[in-house]
Structure 1
């Protein structure tokens, strides 16, 4: 049955990884675990990390390994390139740091990691006793002893990279973070001071004039203003890598109304023929239905299609539709109805006659053997003993031949096996023959239990995708080509877009190695064009999904400090507030008392009470750290402050009182321990991030991908 193969496929990485653990047999014999990975290739370097090369050949191996591990769920290659790059940079930075501080993982430590109280998940899954739920360390060690002899297994290197090395890397990382964490210390005086600060509250009076009283349009911000602001606040305007920006227009090549109507007519024309078809599977294959035929039943509660309630009420042979399902026009035909469980428990024994097309046992001998097994089981023989002695399904030996399935797994099971499990009843005992690509053979199956029985439906769907016609595609392509031909610079691009009433969309911060653009999806070749051209260049039409895109490069910003154009959206609002503050201070704040300042500004004197030091949120104002800080300034108690430019306006305050609210929830020692724990938890993570940020990284991926 294909389910056995599915289960094996699912856990194949685990099973083969265990085979790969023969490497551990050799590793555990060494005094220390080596860190080298055999870097070096004639295929070119795609980057360097602190002088250490990342060879393309090794990088490709990692991408291929990730692809194999993900299987059918693998992300797109561009995504893997990005994630493998980040992983590789992290590995190199950390390995260099381990070597610098002399950090190693000994053979004994690796042994403890693998066979201790908390083994890696991939290992514990393989050797957990189903009876006790406990990791069977002796079984794992025995298995290692057996596979230690498999020196020539070609998969060992691959699975060492997939499982063993990551386990070693994780153990070293934990040691490194523990090393940093154990260096953390919070003195008692700091905890006492922090506790006192957290308990402090202030009361003050203030006068404020919001920035909103002056319109933004009345304040002019020049390029020189931006440059000056950038120089004063360099850290806020640094960028770790170069970015570019583009503007683009879109020419829609999706299905038109006429295309949709034509496809609807096609589906309608097949309705009577579909209703009359006696063999739905053959018919749907002949008319090329977008939805393949599933020759099985779906529980009513799991029927995830539009108009499901209406479809369930169809008589057998009746057809409903057309209706839109996703991007298709669809007809639904009721083929049959029955009841079916949502979940089943079965136990079985498998005798194979072939595996992957290679004969393993003659059909006649296999049939006699399974019949004998069936007779013995039905006569009361110990089922688990029969499983251990005869079954060719290694995946179920640890579960006494038992499997639990849900109805959602039905399509993945071999038809003969699934029908016994789901269409029979508890207590049924049958022998079935199964043939599929993975293996052929006989199953003896006993249905142990079934749960949640409800109506189920066998439904055939005839669907056609709502796609653009070639005429629609050509029209969009021609329009895009004409636009590009007449728009050879930014000015022409903007003028033509305005004449044709085409919305111009903009995308900032496109990085050299990005593979997607928001709103356009996967667009690696388009991004390459952006970086192979310069500001003002206009592209030829790019086909992205169901649209044609024509773009113009609107900006380039190199690594380091942002240029004026890039920084303006960030800096301009802040500079406007600074200029407004200067204007407010020079024109509205006059006098030597709070009341005089209020009269000069044309506002009243306001009061704030119980403002906390730990959470400086001021009622009716919001988050104003500068104002809260001034309120707790003992030098301003009973005195008026100078004007303070805050986040929302300009303030003048007068401190009235600083007091404390007793904190009954925590004492100084409890707070000290809490702060120290936070340092330990965050110290390791922040240190690793700092190492990567400080690393000298040269990224050449653009030259290869």
Structure 2
């Protein structure tokens, strides 16, 4: 419990924590697979408190997590930003396991099997399970505990899914362990009555004071003498201010890859060439899928619904089969066909039976049951009776499968119903369910239209890319040193840009896409050297629509910045200190012969000003700005008392309190105490892990792999 005591005593050092895992991780991947054993340096991703982390272990977890993210988003691919976010999440989870695991063992914190079961299928089901879409009744949108039990039952036949579910349970256990650990710390957070009273007074007590101020700018910089010894003394005394992480600065030029006029015309001509086939096609969805850079939109639009005003007008003034375009929109050339115009209902009255595999009935048996029920219904069997007996949708089963009136767009199988017609039975399978449905009535029909749109992105051709690449290659070949790089830029009138303070995990450079690769390679490049891709041995990086060449201008080692690197900052601080001392000496001399603030102002030829209603906890002082030392002194002075010179942020001050507004009888100490206590408890949840991480020994070598 030593660490608990340490944290209780160091609340001021705590920083933020991120806990938990993505929704539906139980379906999507095992983020907690296996332990980490010591490996060769070749595969060492990191070392955490002396324990090696194997790159291969981490990579497997990352791949599983990426699959989770795909399934959660319903997409087959992820953009780079999402991939980076997932990578960071897996890293944080790994750190938590290693660091928090040691703390749990030391503190004796654990979660029993019975406790975990209660979180999954018991009386205290975890919110992640309650909120999971897979366990919601598709019609009511409410959590259905039977779906959890049925899902777990199916896992017996799917080892991979079972492994992932167990990993999800492990994540729930990890969260519960965290919460227990935090609760133990929270019990050590207590606010005394005297502290609460003082805090309440500081919030409500206000003072008015007169002041004189001499800004530091009144003294010229050249009137202040600064020696190297002064700089060194200040640097050593304030060395923590100059702590730095490993980082670098780089400069780069980019050769933009933009479509040429010939590229644009070729893309337009390509779209035009598809018009005859599009016009004659009877299966527009398939034709669009085969020829377009954007997917087919199956939606039927009513008048005024389409975001393109021109298309919205054409849909209701032209004939089926008419073509509009090519036209240019959002970086694409497009051509649109008015595919279908129908009188269609907005709403339908529907009933359904929902089937899903169970522990006793596998997928094949469920399909056989669906076929059997469909035949019975087609033969005249009572829909309500079968729905009550067989439907997994308990809410509608009690009503004979009746969903009531629904908007067409709400129902996944609405097109099948509309194609079949009223009173016709349709069977509609999905990945998880088989729906058997019948449309009892249709709502009012309105004219609606469907478009088939072929889109082609306006992008540079390979020839254009080659021409730009040759230009970049020529520059690289002729300017292959740091000095020549800068000379070439100047001679050719190119624009050189900077990217400063990049750290080993930085991913972004303003104006460049997918900049991670050049940043990573920069950390394997010496100062004043051209950055080379170690795989291709080329200085040219293809980053989105740019070919980029860069050089490392400065590198910073982890630790403390050398005095020479921060000399300008130290000089400003030392100069300010010396000016403050000179001004305080001047004010002290004047104070010796002044009995009040007005006489002091007159002696210094400085105007006496007033600041009113100054509270200790206020962000700033009226008329002065951010001057916490002035606020503190003002609260401590008695009425009419004159202060000594105060070294402020912007000036040296002398103040005289003219009025003190003490808190009234309505000082609510109990409420103040509750507020402070809530703040402490919140900080525990937010900050504990970060202080543990700060004190852990972490050798992060991810840059060797990512």
TM-score band, normalised by the shorter chain? 0.7 to 0.9
In the alignment, which residue of structure 2 is the partner of 1:615? 618
In the alignment, which residue of structure 1 is the partner of 2:259? 255
Match of 2:424 among 426, 430, 442: 430
Q: RMSD across aligned C-alpha pairs, in angstroms?
A: 4.6
Rounded Cα–Cα distance in structure 2 between residues aligned with 1:573 and 1:680: 40
Rounded Cα–Cα distance in structure 2 between residues aligned with 1:329 and 1:60: 40
Cα distance, 1:211–1:492 mapped onto 2, change above 3 Å:
farther
How high is the TM-score relative to the length of structure 2?
0.78
Match of 1:507 among 499, 512, 525: 499
Give, in angstroms, the shift of residue 475 of structure 1: 3.1
Cα distance, 1:54–1:381 mapped onto 2, change above 3 Å:
same
In the alignment, which residue of structure 2 is the partner of 1:673? 674
Give, in angstroms, the shift of residue 701 of structure 1: 1.8
Question: SS of the residue aligned with 1:385?
Answer: helix
Rounded Cα–Cα distance in structure 2 between residues aligned with 1:279 and 1:140: 40
In the alignment, which residue of structure 2 is the partner of 1:98? 104
Question: SS of the residue aligned with 1:532?
Answer: coil
Cα offsets for 1:16-38 (capped at 9, x unmatched): 99xx9xxxxxxxxxxxxxx9944
Rounded Cα–Cα distance in structure 1 between residues aligned with 2:136 and 2:56: 37
Cα offsets for 1:242-298 (capped at 9, x unmatched): 111111111111223453344345545665775566664566567x33234445524
Question: SS of the residue aligned with 1:245?
Answer: strand
Cα distance, 1:133–1:634 mapped onto 2, change above 3 Å:
same
Contact map agreement 1:211 1:577 (CA 8 A) in 2: yes
Question: SS of the residue aligned with 2:337?
Answer: strand
Rounded Cα–Cα distance in structure 2 between residues aligned with 1:209 and 1:217: 18
Rounded Cα–Cα distance in structure 1 between residues aligned with 2:331 and 2:255: 20
Question: SS of the residue aligned with 2:590?
Answer: coil
In the alignment, which residue of structure 1 is the partner of 2:628? 625
Most deviating of 125-134 and 524-533: 125-134
Pairwise mapping of residues 100-139 of structure 1 onto structure 2 (< 5 A)? 100-124=106-130
Question: SS of the residue aligned with 1:462?
Answer: strand
In the alignment, which residue of structure 1 is the partner of 2:163? 157
In the alignment, which residue of structure 1 is the partner of 2:329? 325
Match of 2:656 among 644, 654, 657: 654
How high is the TM-score relative to the length of structure 1?
0.78
Rounded Cα–Cα distance in structure 1 between residues aligned with 2:221 and 2:402: 73
In the alignment, which residue of structure 2 is the partner of 1:7? none
In the alignment, which residue of structure 2 is the partner of 1:478? 470
Give, in angstroms, the shift of residue 220 of structure 1: 11
Rounded Cα–Cα distance in structure 2 between residues aligned with 1:691 and 1:290: 49
Most deviating of 622-631 and 73-82: 73-82
Question: SS of the residue aligned with 2:501?
Answer: strand
Rounded Cα–Cα distance in structure 2 between residues aligned with 1:190 and 1:160: 47
Q: Determine whether 1:39 maps to 2:36.
A: yes
Cα distance, 1:569–1:549 mapped onto 2, change above 3 Å:
farther
Cα offsets for 1:633-655 (capped at 9, x unmatched): 3279522431x342333333223
Give, in angstroms, the shift of residue 219 of structure 1: 9.4
How many positions carry a matched residue from both structures? 656
Give, in angstroms, the shift of residue 474 of structure 1: 2.7
Q: Determine whether 1:88 maps to 2:94.
A: yes
Contact map agreement 1:207 1:603 (CA 8 A) in 2: yes
Give, in angstroms, the shift of residue 612 of structure 1: 1.1
Question: SS of the residue aligned with 1:521?
Answer: coil
In the alignment, which residue of structure 2 is the partner of 1:459? 451
Question: SS of the residue aligned with 2:530?
Answer: coil
Question: SS of the residue aligned with 2:189?
Answer: coil
In the alignment, which residue of structure 2 is the partner of 1:4? none
Contact map agreement 1:318 1:334 (CA 8 A) in 2: yes
Rounded Cα–Cα distance in structure 2 between residues aligned with 1:142 and 1:468: 52
Rounded Cα–Cα distance in structure 2 between residues aligned with 1:204 and 1:465: 68
In structure 2, list runs of 5 or more residues that go unmatched.
1-21, 357-361, 532-538
Give, in angstroms, the shift of residue 531 of structure 1: 1.0
Cα distance, 1:621–1:495 mapped onto 2, change above 3 Å:
farther
Rounded Cα–Cα distance in structure 1 between residues aligned with 2:232 and 2:443: 71
Cα distance, 1:565–1:399 mapped onto 2, change above 3 Å:
farther
Contact map agreement 1:374 1:444 (CA 8 A) in 2: no
In structure 1, list runs of 5 or more residues that go unmatched.
1-9, 21-34, 353-357
Give, in angstroms, the shift of residue 672 of structure 1: 1.7
Rounded Cα–Cα distance in structure 1 between residues aligned with 2:113 and 2:365: 44
In the alignment, which residue of structure 1 is the partner of 2:535? none
Contact map agreement 1:484 1:538 (CA 8 A) in 2: no
